[in-house]
Amino acid sequence: MDDESPGLGLNLPEQPQKTAYDTNYRVLARKYRPQTFAELIGQDAMVTTLGNAIERGRIAHAFLLTGVRGVGKTSTARLVAKALNCIGPDGQGGPTIDPCGVCEPCRAIAEGRHIDVIEMDAASHTGVDDVREIIEAVRYAAVSARYKIYIIDEVHMLSKSAFNALLKTLEEPPAHVKFLFATTEVGKVPVTVLSRCQRFDLRRIPAEKLADHFARVAKAESVEVEDEALLAIARAAEGSARDGLSILDQAIAHGHGVVTAEQVRDMLGQADRGRVRRLLETLLGGDTKATLGQLDEAHALGIEPASLFRGLMESLHAVTRVKAGAAEDLLQSVEERQAAAELAGRLGWANLHRLWQLLLKGLQDVTVAPDPHEAATMALLRLIHAAEMPDPTQLAALLAGGVVPTAGQAAREPASAPPKAKAELPADFVSFVETIERNGKQLMGVQLRDHIGLVSYAPGELALKPLRPLGPDFVRDLATAAKEATGQSWIVRLAEEGAAPSLHQQEAMAEERMRAAVLEEPSVQALIDQFPDATLESIDRKES
């Protein structure tokens, strides 16, 4: 009876044919993890220091690797483990900054199966019991390697008691033990631990190096990627090789054989750089209708308001760098550099700083508002209207120059009118008081400014309300002084009906309004945030 006889009860289902999907796919971030220090991009200073230490036999017992995500902390730790345990192709080699990659220790460490290289994730092993296991195990010599190496990732997540338990062993470990710690938040690592480690700060990888790296990966994967798409991915990676490779992986899956910049922007919800630049120029031109039209167009295309504001800030930052004379950004096109130079010539430093603060405030608004598009609309309108206002320095100068605010105006009319001929009667009460003072009646002027509220005024006639007791001859003396100053008779009467505040009170209120306007300026708010004890003081400028 054959195996397929129903009587045996061993009928097996038909086995499916193997397909290409049976092969386990490895994401690019894992597939192209650095296997040598030469492949570790952007960390030349650290590699040089490590190489010198290994060459001279000055190898620390504990290393702390810190930096933002994806810059190569864990990869560096594994490379150090290989460098310290490599025995060379002939089995006779020693520690080297260039591990061979073919000996058993190198291959076992690369594959994560070496018994003497122990990796622990502190995020899931935070307790003191986990550290006690390490303390117990370090007493025993390495099984097959030169050094027993402990790699603890995200070490800052260990509990306080776990750190305390580790301190003594970390300070005086056996000669055959090395500790390699990695963390993204070095500020959370106790100082007592930091003092026992040799620290390496891994830098963010420059965008141009990331773009070159991604181009090599794309070529190895036989995928065509536009140069502009590579630059867009490098910018979005923010210095992280792993993040960039993940984005590239997604872009390859998103595309159809060719990865374009437009596909990358659509995938990431980013705004086109040309679109952002045109929006910034429209904003600076004060065209409200066109600005809102471009914003609505971006919204219809699915561009996130937060991404749009980040793009505006990036463009403004480029303009500021050009104005400051910084080196050219190699990731910018010639068109972008020319546009930045043109705007840098048009905008002053005060405007640049104010625009940055307003964009930063707008970005905060769109990230917390229930409707980000509405918040973006209000933020851009605020930016357009604020662009018409003088900067705080100009406001302070206007205030010091003795100007009186009027509703709806950023600049104000001067309070001191030029002297009038005596045959020409003052047009308003302020001019009347100034005319009295110019005629040598300063004491009378003080009374009119500080102790009087105006009820009504017409050339040749005025009604006043005393706010403080006045002398019995005040009305007669004022009428005489007015006739002497203008050459014509005046009717002066005192009234009890409602009067305006005194001129002194009006000046104080105007100064307070101006003070409030200055304090509301984003650039001034930023200064106060940086210097909480700072105060805003007025400076009286007197003619010599």
Q: What is the pLDDT of residue 207?
A: 84
Q: What is the pLDDT of residue 239?
A: 85
DSSP 535: -
The residues spanned by each domain of the chain are: 28-201, 207-268, 273-386, 419-500
Rounded distance between C-alpha atoms, residue 294 and residue 281, angstroms? 11
CATH class assigned to 28-201: alpha beta
Query: Distances from the Cα of 92 to the Cαs of 73, 100, 115, 117, 145, in angstroms?
Result: 29, 12, 20, 20, 13
Q: How many CA atoms are closer than 13 Å to the CA of 446, on its beta-carbon side? A: 4
- CATH of 419-500 given 1.10.150, 3.40.50, 1.10.730, 3.30.300: 3.30.300
pTM recorded for the entire structure = 0.56
Q: What is the pLDDT of residue 502?
A: 85
Q: What is the pLDDT of residue 41?
A: 87
Take residue 416 and report the two structure tokens written for it. 């001191």
Rounded distance between C-alpha atoms, residue 341 and residue 319, angstroms? 7
Take residue 244 and report the two structure tokens written for it. 């960039």
Alpha helices (runs of H) in 36-154, residue ranges in sequence order: 44-55, 73-85, 104-110, 128-137
CATH class assigned to 207-268: mainly alpha
Q: List, run by run, the mean pLDDT of 10-residue segments along the chain (544 residues).
A: 44 48 73 87 87 87 90 90 91 89 90 90 88 90 91 92 90 90 91 91 88 91 88 84 89 80 74 79 86 89 86 88 77 73 82 87 91 92 73 54 42 39 76 88 86 86 84 84 88 82 83 77 73 65 40
Q: What is the pLDDT of residue 388?
A: 56
Whether the Cβ atoms of residue 322 and residue 340 lie closer than 8 Å to each other: yes
Q: What is the pLDDT of residue 414?
A: 39
Rounded distance between C-alpha atoms, residue 229 and residue 221, angstroms? 16
Topology (CATH) of 273-386: Zinc Finger, Delta Prime; domain 3 (1.20.272)
Task: Return phi, psi of residue 215, to 5°.
Answer: -65, -40
Q: What is the pLDDT of residue 331?
A: 59
Residue 369 CB burial class (10 angstroms; 0-12, 13-18, ≥19): middle
Instruction: List own/partner pairs for 107-110 with CB under 8 A and 24 or more apart.
Output: 109/78, 109/81, 109/82, 109/85, 110/35, 110/78, 110/82
